[in-house]
Amino acid sequence: MITRKRLATGACALLAALSVALLPTGAAADEPAAKESPKVELVLDVSGSMRAKDIDGKSRMAAAKQAFNEVLDAVPEEVRLGIRTLGADYPGQDRKQGCKDTRQLYPVGPLDRTEAKTAVATLAPTGWTPIGPALLGAADDLGEDGATKRIVLITDGEDTCAPLDPCQVAREIAAKGIHLVIDTLGLVPDAKTRQQLTCIAEATGGTYTSVHRTDELSRRVRQLVDRAADPVVTPVATQGAVRCDKAPQLKPGLYTDRESFGEHRWYRVDLLPGQELRASVSVSADRAVNNDYGVLLRAVTLHGREIVRGSEAGDGRTDVISTGLRYPKPDLDDGPGDAKPAAETVCLQVSNSFSAPPSVKTTPGMPVELTVDVVDGPSTASDVASFGLGRGWWLLGVLVLAGFLAGLLWGWLSRWRVAVWRTN
């Protein structure tokens, strides 16, 4: 009969074996020194206009607070994050005083989520909209070290403190060469606000997004913070072709292009066995467009067979529409001798279904941002099948066998416990 002592001994041996297998090897000591942690400062408009109740039936301030709580929960550990406000403290009519109303609410550094949420919870819509001074303050908060830096500006109106033009401020920040990008998000923006925020973003290579719902705000800010954690080097201008065989060859990175209304453009990526292609595309509607639009990203073989696709559609006013895809290529056995496996050329097709009113110029085309990444994928062809049962029934068989063995083990343990109880 199996005793408690023997069972405990076997469990300890199993745990010891697993511990040895999971211990880090000495090779880690030879890894290169880590880069400086990226920095992000969220700049939030707390001016009086944030009282307006036009986002999901609640005030813009309430929507911003909810989005901030969700974003703070998801900030990557390696990101040093800070929060700055504008228009949060001075409720008076003195313009000179109101245009100084910007302060750092939470210092840039390792994030204490509870402390940061508590600070945001105390905010109430108050005063002016000094965007220019807030951007200057945020740039100082982030410093001029070698870390990648990002400012994410969330506002519902244009600057009220001219002649300090926030667009010119952004240009001056970019001219310093301190690797700082400014992204802007407009809450239910009008045409003037949209124009100003677009200018600020473009001055530093950032992006502008119009926001009308709380989930849009939360999702976009999380994307930008994640991008800071895994920054892409300077975007590379490219030009897609009308056919895959004429398309430019792309390596992992960020690419910019322009695409006419209703156009298809092609790009090529080489993918080795055992690698996974991850691609995403964003098309910016930088002018008035008709309702009903969409963007399509397809991965296709050289012979025209579709591998996978991603698509997104919308209806109504938009500023950016995005989609993405993933394609893991099975890691096949090497060829004879020392021959290296051949790379597969994957054709990426970017299409849009935008159209414009007759009064709108269609040239130049709309801005396109294409991100290409190639990472280590599933180690074997059988691993790829785990994405679904499309490659065979073996996964179902494994699951059935695992269930059968688990049932036998559970029954054996139950009988052993009853036997031990009876002997006692």
pLDDT of residue 418: 62
In this prediction, residue 187 carries a pLDDT of 93
248-259, pLDDT tens digit by residue?
A: 999 998 899 999
- The answer to whether residue 389 sits within a structural domain is no
Give the CA distances from residue 322 to residues 213, 258, 383, in Å, rounded to whole numbers and listed in that order.
Answer: 17, 15, 29
Specify the number of domains making up the chain: 2
Q: In terms of domains, do 201 and 56 share one? A: yes
172 and 143 within one domain = yes
Model pLDDT, residue 319: 74
- Do 254 and 171 belong together in one domain? no
Could you tell me the CATH number of the domain that includes residue 191? 3.40.50.410
CB 44 within 8 A of CB 106: no
Domain termination residue (choose one: 179, 199, 229): 229
Q: Are 224 and 238 contacting, i.e. CB atoms less than 8 angstroms apart?
A: no
282 assigned to some structural domain = yes
Q: What is the pLDDT of residue 101?
A: 95
Q: Provide the whole-model pTM.
A: 0.55
Q: Please check whether residue 92 lies inside any domain of the structure.
A: yes
367: containing domain: 236-383
Is there a domain that residue 397 lies in? no
DSSP symbols for 148-192:
-EEEEEEESS--SSTTS-HHHHHHHHHHTTS-EEEEEEEES--HH
In this prediction, the residues of the chain whose per-residue pLDDT falls under 70 are 1-35, 231-234, 332-340, 377-400, 417-424
Tell me the β-bridge partners of 266: 241, 349
Report the CATH number at residue 335.
2.60.120.380
Q: Give the E-state strand segments of 315-415 in sequence order.
A: 320-328, 344-352, 366-376
Q: Dihedral through CA 16, CA 21, CA 23, CA 29, nearest 10?
A: 150
- 217 and 263 fall within a common domain: no
Residues 203, 64 within the same domain: yes
Of the candidates 284, 280, 249, the one whose C-alpha atom is nearest the C-alpha of residue 364 is 284
Looking at the structure, do residues 338 and 323 belong to the same domain, yes or no?
Answer: yes
Q: Could you read off the pLDDT of 181-240 as tens digits, one per residue?
A: 999 999 988 888 988 998 898 888 788 888 888 988 998 898 889 888 876 556 788 999
Query: Which of 205, 229, 253 delimits the end of a domain?
Result: 229
| Tally of CA atoms within 13 A in the half-sphere of 183 that contains its CB | 22
Closest to 87 (Cα-Cα) out of 54, 121, 49, 53: 49
70 and 216 part of one domain: yes
Same structural domain, 187 and 336:
no
199 shares a domain with 307: no
